[in-house]
Amino acid sequence: MNTCVIGKGLPRIDAVPKVTGEAQYTVDLKMPGMLTGKILRSPHSHALIKSIDTAAAKELKGVRAVIAAQDVPDNLFSFYQWLADKNIFCTTRVRYVGDEVAAVAAVDEDTAEEALSLIKVEYEPLPAVYDVEEAMRPGAPLVHDDKESNVTWTVQRLFGDPDKALAECDFVVEGKYVTHQVAHTCMEVSNCVARWDVKDRLTIWTNTQAPHTQRQEVARTLGIHKRNVRVINSFMGGGFGSKLVMDMKLPIAAVLSKITGRPVRIVNTRAEEFTTAKARYPYTMYLKTGAKDGRIVARDLKVIGDAGAYHDKGPATINFASMMFGTLYNVPNMRFEGMLAYTNKEMGTAFRGFGNPQVAFATETQLDELAEKMGIDPVELRLKNSNQAGVETACGAEVCGCGMTECITAAADGIEWDRKRGKKDGKTLRGVGLANMVHTGGGGRFYGYNSAEAFVKLSDEGTVTLITSALDMGQGSHTAMAQIAAEELGVRLADINVLSHDTDLTPYDLGSWGSRATYMNGNAVLAAARDARRAVGEAAAEMLEADTKDIVVEEGMVWVEGSDEKHDLAEIVEHAVNAHGAPISGTGKFVDKLPAGYTIPTAFIKNIPCFSFGTQAAEVEVDPETGQVHVLRVVAAHETGTTINQTMAEGQIEGGVVQGIGYALVEELVRADGKILNDSFLDYKIPNIGDVPEIKAICIESLGTNGPYGAKGIGEPGLVPTAPAIANAVYDAIGVRFHELPITPDKVLRALQEAGRSK
């Protein structure tokens, strides 16, 4: 493809404001009269609230409001309203350490904190449950006493006859795999400012990935009409899924603002971010895989998801993981059973990969176990079972463009698989491992629709304003959208100004998640820019007395093909205004059409508009003295369809890999009696610059999708296969198979001691 802007590794359009400190994040906002809000949270993981006394707090000088359950609407909320289970404030019982009990608004932070300390709450502690399998047993303490069981949601999927197929297999492996709870740790904590104005309109400034759906969530929680709610975003310090679903600080700040008549800000402390901003769902998985004649013919997976104290995205992550489970390889016989149970812990939510990294850890680890049992090389097994373009898998997934074989080969070659796998030098404990993944490359049709809209406006000086709902939480979607608009319009990237921050301005949209912005919003931007380009062509043709098909627009200059007389685009816009009073603009829509016969409950795999495959290979060295796993290098080959921005695509992959290393080896929320012990960066270690191995990010361009120029989303895939690739490399290094994450030094040392390998 001959392009001017697409595919180039151009600097982000927001790089200069970010590198000079000019970029304003929500947490930087200041408003006249603004009050500081603070939330009083439960110190117990499970207790009855016997009484709340706010009198002393209300009397403190500088306190403007103190509120608890009786002061707010009594509406239950959850992302899925049919599973609603959480009040704004706890009414009669608290269900995890951090649950919202009361809140204050005061003139400054110190006063607000002092006021919290003056609220007296009498609790009666109750037995609590923290282990998801214990929570499912009869007689376990009920997290929600109005429900019969802690098991709160289940799903079953069956394709073919896995029992019969497994009985006929040459080789079968089975095992239990356990993943853990990890935190997103966005550098900017969750925060908001709410202003309930005299016209009864509520404006909320917050760092959100999905302003339009959060607007609905705030409205339904407060029991007000959504026309009265406006959500405004700013530069955003990270998301990774944590800022998709509304946090209770939004309605709390709103009520505090309504009572005080002032804007109210609530900002998480870092400790609140670790303990209440929600986390990755831990999965306990029972998996069986069988092969016959070298082909994977049957898989049987049971996933038990640990919801934490309340519902959020639990059912969606399990459903999504099952779709990816059903698509990665074309396996004719599959059973998937998913269930979700409450525990007295911080609740889960979306987190980069959305259930897929958990399941990929089980499936891709077990595939290596299967290869060993079969006596064949893990790469050979994967190549033999590699998915191909045009395949419809047993569960109905239509595999569009598919570069899986290229990904496997690129990752294996990059890590020098043939030279290193199974080879020992007798001195160091080194090994290589590899894992595959598939993910959506364009969001999903889970809402029963998947669409996007965009507007392009040309100002009379020739610059372009692009209005899109593609939220940029740091992943670079503004730049990708601007590149698409610049390419289509024939202007420079610097001429594009992107607006996406205000629900009053932007078209309704589902938000930035599921690696969907490039595919969905990108297509809408493409259409809007083409619409505006058509209008430019018509105006230029009239002005230059030429045929529209002969009009050339490049880098903001316009001319008739073959002519040396070049005009600034501004002249064309001015002509359109002066001759017809008609400024130039464009609108574009993209509707990801639902397949025939689609219904939300039955369509299952038809939910995904395009799949993105990838393979990562890792080389590790295990230190027998300390048990530490050092990742030496990672080669990450991922499909991008057509790469919109080479540098940014690599950045997504590299960032995903390093989060994946943290997930595999170090990160874990650790509790005692339900209280998180490591609620700071000192105790909850995320990878720092010294932990980073050599990473080679490879973009595999594959055709066959409907994304803009054939592009696929690349936001999430980088994290999905990292943990199993590392676990498989650790096995190659020390011959120990880990079925539980994270693979920490204590576990490694214990395993080495048991194997008699430790010094």
Partner 1 sequence: MKRELRLTVNGDEYHVLVEPRRTLLEVIREDIGLTGTKNGCGAGECGACTVLLDNEAVNSCLVLAHEADGQEVVTIEGLARGGALHPVQEAFVEQGAIQCGFCTPGMVLSTVALLDRNPDPTREEILHGLKGNLCRCTGYVKIIDAVEAAKCLLREGESQ
- Name the one range near partner 1 by CB under 8 A: 470-478, 528-536, 622-630, 751-759: 470-478
Q: Work out the end-to-end distance of the chain between its first and last CA atoms, rounded to an integer number of angstroms.
A: 58
Report the C-alpha gap between 234 and 27 in whole angstroms. 9
Other C-beta atoms lying within 10 Å of the C-beta of residue 733: 21
Report the C-alpha gap between 639 and 613 in whole angstroms. 6
Residue 670 lies near partner 1 (rule: CB under 8 A): no
Residue 695 lies near partner 1 (rule: CB under 8 A): yes
Residue 648 lies near partner 1 (rule: CB under 8 A): yes
- Nearer CB in complex with partner 1: 161/654: 654
Taking CB under 8 A as the criterion, the residue among 614, 656, 710, 721 binding partner 1 is 656
Residue 32 lies near partner 1 (rule: CB under 8 A): no
- Nearer CB in complex with partner 1: 3/680: 680
Residue 117 lies near partner 1 (rule: CB under 8 A): no
- Name the one range near partner 1 by CB under 8 A: 18-26, 124-132, 437-445, 525-533: 18-26
- Nearer CB in complex with partner 1: 21/581: 21
Residue 17 C-beta: closest distance to partner 1, Å: 8
Inter-CA distances, 513 with 245, 528, 606, 645, 684, Å:
11, 22, 18, 19, 25
- Nearer CB in complex with partner 1: 6/135: 6
Q: Kind and range of the H or E element at 43?
A: none
Residue 136 lies near partner 1 (rule: CB under 8 A): no
- Name the one range near partner 1 by CB under 8 A: 398-406, 412-420, 643-651, 667-675: 643-651
Backbone φ, ψ for residue 734 (5° rounding): -125, 0
- Nearer CB in complex with partner 1: 185/356: 185
Max Cα distance, the chain (Å): 87
Taking CB under 8 A as the criterion, the residue among 67, 296, 323, 658 binding partner 1 is 658
Burial classification of residue 619, based on how many CB atoms lie within 10 Å of its CB (0-12 exposed, 13-18 middle, 19 or more buried): buried
- Nearer CB in complex with partner 1: 290/656: 656
* Per-residue mark of binding to partner 1, 267-286 (x: CB under 8 A): --xx----------------
Name residues whose C-beta falls within 8 Å of residue 447's C-beta, 6 or more positions apart in sequence.
510
Report the C-alpha gap between 635 and 3 in whole angstroms. 28
Angle between helices 722-734 and 356-374 in degrees, nearest 10? 30
Sequence letter at residue 136 = M
Residue 37 C-beta: closest distance to partner 1, Å: 17
Inter-CA distances, 9 with 235, 497, 650, Å:
22, 19, 9
DSSP string, 541-591: HHHHTS-GGGEEEETTEEEETT----EEHHHHHHHHHHHHS---EEEEEEE
Sequence letter at residue 113 = E
Residue 219 C-beta: closest distance to partner 1, Å: 28
Report the C-alpha gap between 106 and 67 in whole angstroms. 12
Residue 28 C-beta: closest distance to partner 1, Å: 4
Judged by DSSP in three states, 292 sits in strand
Taking CB under 8 A as the criterion, the residue among 211, 511, 655, 724 binding partner 1 is 655
Q: Kind and range of the H or E element at 373?
A: helix 356-374
Taking CB under 8 A as the criterion, the residue among 138, 562, 690, 756 binding partner 1 is 690
User: In sequence order, what E strands does 283-442 have?
Assistant: 283-292, 295-308, 333-342, 348-349, 429-440
Residue 395 C-beta: closest distance to partner 1, Å: 33
* Length reported for the chain: 759
Name residues whose C-beta falls within 8 Å of residue 547's C-beta, 6 or more positions apart in sequence.
541
- Nearer CB in complex with partner 1: 207/607: 207
- Name the one range near partner 1 by CB under 8 A: 56-64, 372-380, 530-538, 677-685: 677-685
- Name the one range near partner 1 by CB under 8 A: 455-463, 550-558, 584-592, 684-692: 684-692
Residue 24 lies near partner 1 (rule: CB under 8 A): yes
Report the C-alpha gap between 104 and 63 in whole angstroms. 7
Report the C-alpha gap between 609 and 705 in whole angstroms. 8
Site for partner 1 in 394-433 (CB under 8 A): none
Sequence letter at residue 279 = A
Residue 614 lies near partner 1 (rule: CB under 8 A): no
Residue 267 C-beta: closest distance to partner 1, Å: 9
Residue 14 lies near partner 1 (rule: CB under 8 A): yes
Residue 657 lies near partner 1 (rule: CB under 8 A): yes
Inter-CA distances, 68 with 33, 40, 111, 452, Å:
23, 9, 18, 39
- Partnered with residue 285 across adjacent β-strands are 177, 303
Residue 187 C-beta: closest distance to partner 1, Å: 4
Taking CB under 8 A as the criterion, the residue among 9, 390, 448, 735 binding partner 1 is 9
Residue 697 C-beta: closest distance to partner 1, Å: 8
Both tokens of 130, joined, read 């923290």
Name residues whose C-beta falls within 8 Å of residue 199's C-beta, 6 or more positions apart in sequence.
none
- Name the one range near partner 1 by CB under 8 A: 280-288, 440-448, 469-477, 607-615: 469-477
Taking CB under 8 A as the criterion, the residue among 689, 746, 756, 759 binding partner 1 is 689
Nearest to 282 by CA among 321, 249, 245, 243: 321
Which position has the token pair 């008739």? Answer: 560
Site for partner 1 in 223-242 (CB under 8 A): 235-238, 240
- Nearer CB in complex with partner 1: 28/59: 28
Q: Kind and range of the H or E element at 485?
A: helix 477-489
Residue 268 C-beta: closest distance to partner 1, Å: 11
- Nearer CB in complex with partner 1: 339/695: 695
Residue 654 lies near partner 1 (rule: CB under 8 A): yes
* Per-residue mark of binding to partner 1, 356-385 (x: CB under 8 A): ------------------------------
- Nearer CB in complex with partner 1: 23/632: 23
Both tokens of 140, joined, read 């376990």
Report the C-alpha gap between 469 and 450 in whole angstroms. 13
By CB under 8 A, the count of residues binding partner 1 is 55
Residue 665 C-beta: closest distance to partner 1, Å: 14
Name residues whose C-beta falls within 8 Å of residue 269's C-beta, 6 or more positions apart in sequence.
189
* Per-residue mark of binding to partner 1, 172-191 (x: CB under 8 A): ------------xxxxx---
Residue 73 lies near partner 1 (rule: CB under 8 A): no
Residue 682 lies near partner 1 (rule: CB under 8 A): yes
- Nearer CB in complex with partner 1: 327/616: 616
Nearest to 274 by CA among 687, 644, 676: 676
Nearest to 408 by CA among 367, 447, 370, 443: 367
Report the C-alpha gap between 145 and 93 in whole angstroms. 10
Residue 414 C-beta: closest distance to partner 1, Å: 15
Sign of the CA dihedral with 323 first, then 84, 105, and 114 last: negative
Site for partner 1 in 472-511 (CB under 8 A): 473-476
- Nearer CB in complex with partner 1: 22/145: 22
Residue 456 C-beta: closest distance to partner 1, Å: 25
Taking CB under 8 A as the criterion, the residue among 12, 38, 278, 439 binding partner 1 is 12
| Binding residues vs partner 1 (CB under 8 A) | 9, 11-12, 14-25, 27-28, 30, 184-188, 235-238, 240, 269-270, 473-476, 647-648, 650-651, 654-659, 680-682, 686-690, 692, 695, 697
